[in-house]
Amino acid sequence: MAARPAVFLDRDGTVIADRHYLADPDGVEILRGAAEVIARINQRSVPVVLVTNQSGVGRGLFSEDDLDRVQARLIDELARRGARLDAIYVCPHSPDDVCDCRKPAPGLFERAAREHNLDLSRSVFIGDRIRDVQPALAWGGTGILVRGSLEDGKADLPPGILFADDLPSAMELVGWLAGSG
C-alpha cells in the first residue's frame, strides 16, 4: 500500500488556546474553527496527527497523568464537534534534554510515518512556532505557520514556509485539503 499524506498539527496555539504549561483539563479551549477544519480533513480520509512538545513534564511542572487528562479532554472536545485525531505524539522532554523527539527534531514525525504509512514529502505541517513547521523543509512537505503568539514573527519565515492567520486560513492554502485537489 502506498504511503499517504497527512496533516501534522501542533497543539498549543494551533488547535487549542496556549495556556503556558497546561496541566488542567478545564483549561482546554478549542480555537475558533479548529474542530471544523479537523472534521473536514477527517472527511477527506487524510490522517490528522498531533505532534506536541510538552516540556512541562520534563521540567517537573506537571505529571504525565496531568498531560494524559488534558489530551483526553482535547479528544473529547473534538469528538463533541465531530472531529478526531488519528494519532498523538508527545515529546515530554525539557529543552535541555538530549532527544530526537523535541520539535523541530524529526523523531516523532518519522515514528508517525512508520506507524501509519505516511508520506512526509506530501504532508502538511501546521503550527504557531517555526519549530512546528521546520520539519516540512527537510522532507519537502508544506509548512504553514499560523499567527499564534507571533513569537517567531512573519518576517523571519524561512523560504518555503507559508503564513496564515489561523488553522482555517491555513487549510485554504492547501488545495487538496480544501477540496480542489
Q: Angle 73-110-148 (CA atoms, 0-180°, nearest 5)?
A: 50
Q: ω into residue 104 within 30 of 0, thus cis?
A: yes
Q: 174 or 70, which is more confident?
A: 70
The two beta strands, 7-9 and 124-127, are parallel
pLDDT tens string 91-129: 999 999 999 999 999 999 999 999 999 999 999 999 999
Q: Which domains does the chain have, with CATH numbers?
A: 7-178 (3.40.50.1000)
Name the amino acid, one letter, at 22. Answer: L
99 SS3 class? coil
- How much is the pLDDT for 59? 96
Tell me the per-residue pLDDT of 126-168, one tens digit each, with 9 for 90 and over.
999 999 999 999 999 999 999 855 555 555 677 788 999 999 9
DSSP 3-state of 127: strand
Higher pLDDT, 150 or 40: 40
So which residues are the catalytic ones? 10, 12
pTM of this prediction?
0.93
